[in-house]
Amino acid sequence: DAGVIQSPRHEVTEMGQEVTLRCKPISGHNSLFWYRQTMMRGLELLIYFNNNVPIDDSGMPEDRFSAKMPNASFSTLKIQPSEPRDSAVYFCASTPGRNSNQPQHFGDGTRLSIL
Amino acid sequence: AQSVTQLDSHVSVSEGTPVLLRCNYSSSYSPSLFWYVQHPNKGLQLLLKYTSAATLVKGINGFEAEFKKSETSFHLTKPSAHMSDAAEYFCVVSDLGSSASKIIFGSGTRLSIRP
């Protein structure tokens, strides 16, 4: 069984550039989560989707960040324009449903460095 | 309001000795509680979960946790540490699916194992 797949694993780009992170959830999972992990702030939930619909985006830091889920097997997190403070590891996770008792399955993350 | 407090940022034990990682939580609802482990350059992996069934929960790799409502604690233990247990551990409280609809990660505890 393939787990959650994220791409790219590493991204280095200059500030001001557009960055797109990609995620493929586990087949059959209908909830998808985007997280950001930094030393200073730990692991933060940015947004989550259920059945491709955004449910809670209150964690999205600002308008430079946007996320989409055009279908059940693909999601993107976009930063435009990027800034050095966006440097972090971004994780995607999925669960079979929306209930609180379901554990999340995490991808291996995208390590983003903005110069 | 929800919160999670991991009481130790770093724990160091000798191989073969017991492990105790402490977690206190608060929630206005009846939350689900989880422990996840993160190895370097990897995503989080579920160790165990509590979802209002038995208060003593057994997980993978010999870990277990006890839910104590009176103490609002969910401490993680293992009788005998192994070198492969060295990693970062996260306590998580989830109200997803309720009207609160939040998931909160603790700040993490780094576990080191001395030979």
Nearest-CA distance A17 → chain B (Å): 25
Pairing of the two strands A53-56 and A42-50: antiparallel
Share of chain B above pLDDT 70, in %: 95
A90 touching B, CB under 8 A?
no
Tokens of A45: 């939930």
pLDDT digits (tens, 9 = 90+) for B65-78: 999 988 999 999 99
Q: Residue A77: which residues within 8 A CB-CB, separation 6 or more?
A: A20, A21, A23, A34, A46, A47, A65, A66, A67, A90, A92
Binary contact (A101, B49; C-beta < 8 A): yes
List the single residue in A33, A48, A103 with the smallest CB-CB distance to B34. A103
pLDDT at A99 (0 to 100)? 72
Binary contact (B43, A93; C-beta < 8 A): yes
Count of CB atoms situated within 10 Å of the CB of B44: 29
User: Mean pLDDT score of chain B, rounded to an integer?
Assistant: 91
Q: How many CB pairs under 8 A join A and B?
A: 56
Q: How confident is the model at residue A100 (pLDDT cuts 50, 70, 90)?
A: low
Nearest to B89 by CA among B114, B108, B70, B62: B108
Binary contact (B107, A106; C-beta < 8 A): no
